[in-house]
Structure 1
Amino acid sequence: MKLYHFPLSPNSRRVVAVLHHLRLDCELEAVDLSKGEQMQPDFLKLNPNHMIPTLVDGDFVLWESNAIMQYLCSKAPYTSLYSTDARVQADINRWQFWQAAHFGSACSVMIFEKVVKKFFMQAEADLQEVAKGEERFHRFAQVLEQHLKGRDWLVGNDVTLADFSVGSFLALAELAEYPMAPYSEIPRWYGNIEQLPAWISSAPPAG
């Protein structure tokens, strides 16, 4: 298998973390978004959306990070990351879909305005867009905060794909200046993720 990824991307990091957690053999190939490498013809043949991550497994090509994570779990049957129990699996799916549709999109606004513009475009943040992102962040962070009360993990008693999916965006919380002050459960829970060996080893290189 080969995974095309961008190390700083939350979408990429959670897939790499799952690879490490499951101890799967996979070649990692970085695609430098800052240089437009995702627009190269060879990559567009794999992913016409020109986005990362993208997994190639023989003649099978798969994009969308949450789908890739679920597929990887099929390589390691009986993993607790993605239960075979229909209700538990549906609950994991629910949080992955929620991340993709709501929480991740809110965080992405602040990542673009405070990180991408600053470090890759040498541009100033649009404060109106930041305000919209913060408003949306609070809407969904409150949902996450309430759910986490009395819980170490999002689903059940152990880490699952749900934790990697939702938690991946918190790795950039400080850099993107998320408005985290009102929340205590979210950083407590993310602290559990930060202690996982797979999460530690999936961190992008310093510098």
Structure 2
Amino acid sequence: MKLYSFSPTPNNRKVEAFIRHFGLPVEIYSMGFREQENRTEGYRRMNPMGKAPLLVNGDFCLWESNAILCYLATLHPETGMLPNDPRGRADCDRWLYWQAFHLINTVIAVRARSKTAEKDVELNIGVLNGQLEDREFVLGDLSIVDFAIAPYLIGRHGQAIDYEPYPNVRAWLDRCNQLDGIVATVFRPKGK
């Protein structure tokens, strides 16, 4: 398997972090967006969206980061990162959808200094804070959900959010920042 990635972005980082955390047998290829590798005809055949990440497994090409996380967790049940009961899986899916639709828009609103940013943070970071009450991780135990959400709130993407009113989120981020896969995917400019 091969992952085409562009590490600094949260969608790429979440997949790379998961792969690295568990030492999964996936080759990680760092794409050159300056060279516009994602716009080549060959790449667009694999991913018509022309974005990263993209996972290639034989003749199967999978794009969309949360779909890739689910696929890898399904291929590697030994990681224990994907609930196998219907209720647990539905809860997992709920948080993956929440990240893809609500959290991403909150982060965008904060970075753009949108008029709705404060309300978006209060709602969405507040919801996450409530979920983390008496829990180490979003679903209780570490799961793909933590790998999906954390990269949006770690680093430059989440720096503009004041986490002071959200102690459960702060504590969770501290735990996520200690995960081997998260640590391994911290963006470092070349030569640093």
TM-score of the alignment, normalized to the shorter chain, above 0.5: yes
Alignment check: 8 A CA contact 1:3 1:27 kept: yes
What code does the residue aligned with 2:106 have? A
Partner residue of 1:155 out of 139, 159, 164: 139
Corresponding residue for 1:28?
28
What code does the residue aligned with 1:146 have? G
Corresponding residue for 2:186?
203
| Unpaired stretches in structure 2, ≥5 consecutive residues | none
Q: Counterparts of 1:154-193 in structure 2 under 5 Å?
A: 154-156=138-140, 158-173=141-156, 176-193=159-176
Distance across 2 between alignment mates of 1:159 and 1:175: 20
Alignment check: 8 A CA contact 2:5 2:12 kept: yes
SS of residue matched to 2:89: helix
Partner residue of 2:128 out of 125, 138, 144: 144
TM-score (norm 2): 0.88
Alignment check: 8 A CA contact 2:3 2:56 kept: yes
Q: 1:92 to 1:175 in 2, by over 3 A?
A: closer
Shift of 1:109: 4.1
TM-score (norm 1): 0.82
Query: What count of residue pairs does the alignment treat as equivalent?
Result: 190
Shift of 1:173: 4.9
Distance across 2 between alignment mates of 1:15 and 1:139: 26
Distance across 1 between alignment mates of 2:35 and 2:110: 21
Distance across 2 between alignment mates of 1:170 and 1:33: 23
What code does the residue aligned with 1:91 have? D
SS of residue matched to 1:163: helix
Q: Counterparts of 1:111-122 in structure 2 under 5 Å?
A: 111=111, 113=112
Shift of 1:97: 0.8
Distance across 2 between alignment mates of 1:56 and 1:43: 11
Alignment check: 8 A CA contact 2:152 2:158 kept: no
Q: 1:196 to 1:175 in 2, by over 3 A?
A: closer
TM superposition outliers: structure 1 runs of 4+ over 3 Å: 32-37, 108-111, 131-135, 173-176
Q: 1:174 to 1:99 in 2, by over 3 A?
A: closer
Q: 1:174 to 1:97 in 2, by over 3 A?
A: closer
Shift of 1:144: 0.7
What code does the residue aligned with 1:106 have? T
Corresponding residue for 2:108?
108
Q: 1:21 to 1:175 in 2, by over 3 A?
A: closer
| Unpaired stretches in structure 1, ≥5 consecutive residues | 114-126
1:2 aligns with 2:2: yes
Distance across 2 between alignment mates of 1:20 and 1:30: 14
